[in-house]
């Protein structure tokens, strides 16, 4: 089947929930993908920060193949060795002590919200349940997580929203302080806002936030669904800021394309959950956790994370150099291989034209074009992508 046939079939049978581009990807290798018509692209979407170790990674393919021959699923009525091993690796490489596994980012954030409320309920009673989140944040599409999301556009039509959420401007500490009341149980924040325009937290902001939370026993939740698993050049983005949160959500790159997510918490908070409080049928299954273990091993091997920091700066510098000749570009910003280019035009127009030119990018809001290369992308591919991007904006 060619692109046109797949698109027509999809339009006939699938719900209209995505603004898809008219191509169907059928093959990938490293940082390259091919569509059903045989056209090749450099993939700097990476499945929306998911395939961080590249397409068709041989180590991951081998683990998938081997695990599929043994056992895929048993449910959490029984202990699962790959799940236990993955939890150990996550805990030993973070500031957390316990892990809950699910399947996607929204589920990880749902667990974080439930855990925060349960902790506060047990320690302070039922009146302390409010969670403060940031404007322009994104935390998911379930009822709780879209309510937590500080973007009205994802909430319209789903009222009444869940009670108990407040929004404050990101990086505005006085506004955050003012929003806290005796009802506040947690503050939820992305170290770098991804969908909100690739906005990193300012130096000192998260440190102040952490101190405030500790002083009032308000839980600090970091949503690292997009920033976690090496995307910013550290295993977790909170490490850049020298903080130790109470709860963290992970997903996306944890499975490199296999559906898995995790909610991590400190002992103090995690003990609030008892058997029956929360669950996931598929969460932490053999296949997903086998892949997760390999992802962790590959991320921690050698100097990959240091290279992400170094090459991320290289990419930003190359993109910022284009400002001199192309005033449509405002700035390139971000952290590691989470880079956003703010432009004066419409981001989706740039993304569409780049696709035509053989480069896959994504929009992070109306004015920001997002670059999400695989973490093992080489400089030659970065240079090639920047050249295509230059050609793209030149034609606009």
- Indicate if 25 and 70 belong to the same structural domain: no
| Sequence-distant (≥ 6) Cβ neighbours of residue 283 within 8 angstroms | 76, 100, 101, 102, 103, 107, 261
- Indicate if 349 and 274 belong to the same structural domain: no
- Indicate if 191 and 290 belong to the same structural domain: yes
- Indicate if 276 and 136 belong to the same structural domain: yes
What pLDDT was estimated at residue 335?
98
- Find out whether 315 and 373 touch, Cβ atoms under 8 Å: yes
Task: Report the domain count for the chain.
Answer: 2
pLDDT band for position 9 (cuts 50, 70, 90): very high
pLDDT band for position 376 (cuts 50, 70, 90): very high
- Find out whether 170 and 199 touch, Cβ atoms under 8 Å: yes
- Indicate if 250 and 193 belong to the same structural domain: yes
β-strand partners of 330: none
What pLDDT was estimated at residue 24?
99
Angle, alpha carbons 209-238-131 (nearest 5°): 45
- Indicate if 243 and 180 belong to the same structural domain: yes
CA–CA distance, 16 with 3 (Å, rounded to integer): 18
Q: What is the mean pLDDT of residues 7-12?
A: 98
Q: Among 231, 266, 300, identify where a domain stops.
A: 300
Task: Using the predicted structure, report yes or no on whether residue 59 has a pLDDT greater than 90.
Answer: yes
Q: pTM for the complete prediction?
A: 0.97
- Would you state the torsion angle of the CA atoms of residues 4, 358, 200, 317, taken in this order, to the nearest 10 degrees? -170
Task: Using the predicted structure, report yes or no on whether residue 371 has a pLDDT greater than 90.
Answer: yes
What pLDDT was estimated at residue 241?
98
- Indicate if 87 and 232 belong to the same structural domain: yes
What pLDDT was estimated at residue 158?
97
Task: Using the predicted structure, report yes or no on whether residue 74 has a pLDDT greater than 90.
Answer: yes
**Which CATH number does the domain housing residue 369 bear?**
3.90.1150.10
List, edge to edge, every strand of the sheet that includes 98-102: 98-102, 261-265, 247-250, 219-223, 184-189, 130-134, 165-168
Structural domain span for residue 212: 59-300
Supply the mean pLDDT for the chain.
Answer: 98
Q: What's 55's DSSP letter?
A: B
Which residue in the block uniquely carries the two structure tokens 């049978």? 13
- Find out whether 2 and 36 touch, Cβ atoms under 8 Å: yes
What pLDDT was estimated at residue 325?
95
Instruction: Centre a 10 Å sphere on the Cβ of residue 3 and count the other Cβ atoms it contains.
Output: 18
Angle, alpha carbons 265-271-272 (nearest 5°): 95
- Indicate if 73 and 202 belong to the same structural domain: yes
Q: Among 266, 300, 334, identify where a domain stops.
A: 300
Alpha carbon separation from 196 to 52, 114, 166, 191, 301 (Å, rounded) = 21, 24, 17, 12, 32
- Indicate if 63 and 38 belong to the same structural domain: no
Task: Using the predicted structure, report yes or no on whether residue 159 has a pLDDT greater than 90.
Answer: yes
CA–CA distance, 60 with 29 (Å, rounded to integer): 12
Backbone angles phi, psi at 64, to 5 degrees: -60, -45
CA–CA distance, 372 with 149 (Å, rounded to integer): 22
- Indicate if 44 and 106 belong to the same structural domain: no
Pairing state between β 362-363 and 368-371? antiparallel
pLDDT tens for each residue of 257-314: 999 999 999 999 999 999 999 999 999 999 999 999 999 999 999 999 999 999 999 9
The length of the chain in residues reads 396
Q: Which residues of 134-170 are buried (b: 16+ CB within 10 A; e: fewer)?
A: bbbbbbbebebbbbbbbbeebeeeeeeeeebbbbbeb
What pLDDT was estimated at residue 396?
85
Q: Among 300, 315, 347, identify where a domain stops.
A: 300
Pair of tokens at residue 32: 């390259």
Alpha carbon separation from 235 to 148, 224, 342 (Å, rounded) = 25, 10, 26
Pairing state between β 219-223 and 247-250? parallel
**Which CATH number does the domain housing residue 68 bear?**
3.40.640.10
- Indicate if 277 and 379 belong to the same structural domain: no
């Amino acid at each position: 089947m060619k692109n046109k046939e797949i698109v027509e079939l999809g339009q006939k049978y699938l719900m209209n929930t995505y603004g898809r581009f008219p191509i169907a990807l059928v093959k990938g290798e490293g940082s390259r993908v091919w569509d059903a018509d045989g056209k090749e692209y450099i993939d700097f979407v990476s499945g929306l920060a998911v395939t961080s170790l590249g397409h068709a990674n041989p180590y991951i393919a081998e683990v998938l193949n081997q695990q599929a021959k043994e056992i895929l699923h048993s449910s959490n009525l029984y202990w699962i060795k790959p799940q236990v091993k993955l939890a150990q690796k996550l805990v030993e490489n973070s500031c957390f002590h316990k892990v809950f596994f699910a399947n996607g980012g929204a589920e990880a954030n749902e667990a974080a919200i439930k855990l925060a409320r349960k902790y506060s309920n047990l320690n302070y009673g039922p009146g302390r349940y409010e969670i403060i989140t940031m404007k322009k944040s994104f935390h998911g599409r379930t009822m709780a997580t879209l309510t937590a999301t500080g973007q009205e556009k994802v909430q319209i039509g789903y009222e009444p929203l869940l009670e108990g959420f407040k929004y404050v401007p990101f990086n505005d500490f006085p506004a955050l302080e003012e929003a806290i009341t005796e009802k506040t149980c947690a503050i939820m924040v992305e170290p770098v806002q991804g969908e909100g325009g690739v906005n990193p937290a300012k130096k000192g902001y998260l440190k102040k936030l952490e101190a405030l939370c500790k002083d009032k026993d308000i839980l600090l939740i970091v949503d690292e669904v997009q920033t976690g698993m090496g995307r910013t050049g550290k295993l977790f983005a909170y490490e850049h800021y020298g903080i130790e949160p109470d709860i963290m959500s992970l997903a996306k790159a944890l499975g490199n394309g296999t559906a898995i997510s995790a909610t991590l918490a400190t002992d103090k908070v995690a003990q609030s959950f008892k058997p029956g409080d929360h669950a996931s049928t598929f969460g932490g299954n053999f296949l997903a956790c086998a892949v997760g273990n390999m992802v962790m091993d590959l991320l921690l091997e050698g100097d990959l994370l240091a290279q992400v920091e170094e090459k991320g700066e290289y990419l930003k510098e190359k993109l910022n150099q284009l400002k001199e000749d192309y005033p449509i570009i405002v700035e390139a910003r971000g952290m590691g291989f989470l880079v956003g280019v703010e432009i004066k035009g419409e981001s989706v127009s740039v993304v569409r034209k780049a696709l035509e030119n053989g480069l896959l990018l994504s929009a992070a809001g109306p004015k920001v074009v997002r670059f999400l290369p695989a973490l093992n992308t080489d400089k030659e591919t970065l240079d090639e992508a920047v050249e295509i991007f230059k050609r793209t904006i030149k034609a606009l």
